[in-house]
Structure 1
Amino acid sequence: MNLIFHDLIGKFVQVYIDDIIVGSKQKGDHLSHLKLSFERMRRYGLKMNPLKCAFGVSAREFLGFVIHQKGIEVNRNKTKPIMETKPPSNKKELQYLLGKVNFLRRFISNLSSKTKVFSPLVRLKKEQEFRWDEEHQKTFDDIKDYLAHPPVLRVRSTVSTLAP
């Protein structure tokens, strides 16, 4: 897909494996962008599943995130299980929680340093006792607080502002 749309990627096309987003800054440009994209798909024999298509929408869920004009947002369905979970009581529950948090890592600044307090618990052997203390709870609460109002990520401009 990247080869097929290489000259359109970053302009108005985004590709992830076999999924394509055609996004336009101006409504008037959208039909011509779709037409170019459809022509490219036709030329290479690509087919679309009508059940997966949405045209002319201002926001859409994509890969578990919500993409819209302002940027990329966390889907509340992904934060809800974390927000509602109780503190883990064993290593397995902690690993499950960290997996869910890790999915949202791009929305949590410096996540690895925030979660390093959990590392000794993740490395516990079977015969060792799992002890959830105040430091673990504070970190857990901080992550939940952060996810209550996660940032909207913006697409980076391809124009360099650092060039002399």
Structure 2
Amino acid sequence: MASPFFFIKKDNGSLRAIQDYQKLNEGTIKNKYPLPLINELIDKVKGAKYITKLDVHWGYYNIQLRDGDEWKAAFRTNLGLFEPTVMFFGLCNAPATFQTFVDEIFKELIYLDQHRKLIVEVLKIMQEHHLYLKPQKCEFKTQTVKYLGHIIGNGEVHMDPKKTLAVRDWPKPTNQKELQQFLGLGNWLRHFIKDYSLVVKLLTALTGKAVWDWSGEAD
């Protein structure tokens, strides 16, 4: 078994390696470990007096594959066949596995209230497990923080202006696929717009039509 491999360009111009594990995932028994809900995380964080954001370098790559299972995640390139030794993005159980790992190593810290002491302990545990941070993406003891397209802090949650500009400047869709992409981008706005489902009702209806029919009303 070997999965396709390709690159996509990131916003900063660098390349991100992608392994297409669709076929492997179809035959994988799914890990049912519960993942945190984004909205619940935001609600917990927004009222905090101080907020610290840490970005782990390489993320899933910090999890080693079990010995003997490397062949399952093999991918092919023009240079040959390669078997990874760490967990790659794209594996269906990667999110649950990484969340399990994080919850396990930090389980003793959930009751700490002192912000500075908590951060010191978090950094100690990360050092013990050889987890490294991206300094340019970390923020310490701030009152507001950008998180998943939101600006959170001081008891409030706001839209990130960069995200709203992306929605505003999106070109007019010319087919159903482009419309679905636009709705996917704009879907995160639903918590900030009253009766969002009614606002996009006409657009949503267009995605299910056999014949593309964009009208002035859709504009």
User: Which bracket does the TM-score occupy, shorter chain normalised?
Assistant: 0.5 to 0.7
Structure 2 contact 206–213 (Cα < 8 Å) conserved: yes
| Distance change (3 Å), C-alpha of 1:7 and 1:71 | farther
Q: Which residue of 1 aligns with 2:157?
A: 72
| Distance change (3 Å), C-alpha of 1:129 and 1:66 | closer
User: What percent of counterpart residues are identical?
Assistant: 28
Counterpart of 1:30, as a letter, is H
Q: Give 1:4's match in structure 2, choosing from 96, 105, 114.
A: 105
Q: Give 2:214's match in structure 1, choosing from 131, 153, 159.
A: 131
Once the two structures are superposed, what CA deviation does each residue of 1:32-77 show, in whole Å capped at 9, x if it has no partner?
A: 2212222332343322222322223222222222222323321011
Q: Distance in 2 between matches of 1:72 and 1:6?
A: 27
Pairing 1:54–2:139 present: yes
Q: RMSD of the TM alignment (CA)? A: 2.9
Q: Which residue of 2 aligns with 1:33?
A: 118
Pairing 1:116–2:116 present: no
**Runs of 5+ consecutive residues of structure 1 not aligned to the other structure:** 13-23, 138-164
| Distance change (3 Å), C-alpha of 1:60 and 1:94 | same
Higher relative contact order (CA 8 A, sep 6+): 2
> Per the alignment, in what secondary structure is the counterpart of residue 56 of structure 1?
strand
Q: Distance in 1 between matches of 2:157 and 2:106?
A: 22
Q: Distance in 2 between matches of 1:31 and 1:89?
A: 52
**Runs of 5+ consecutive residues of structure 2 not aligned to the other structure:** 1-101
Once the two structures are superposed, what CA deviation does each residue of 1:118-152 show, in whole Å capped at 9, x if it has no partner?
A: 23311222xx2413253x44xxxxxxxxxxxxxxx
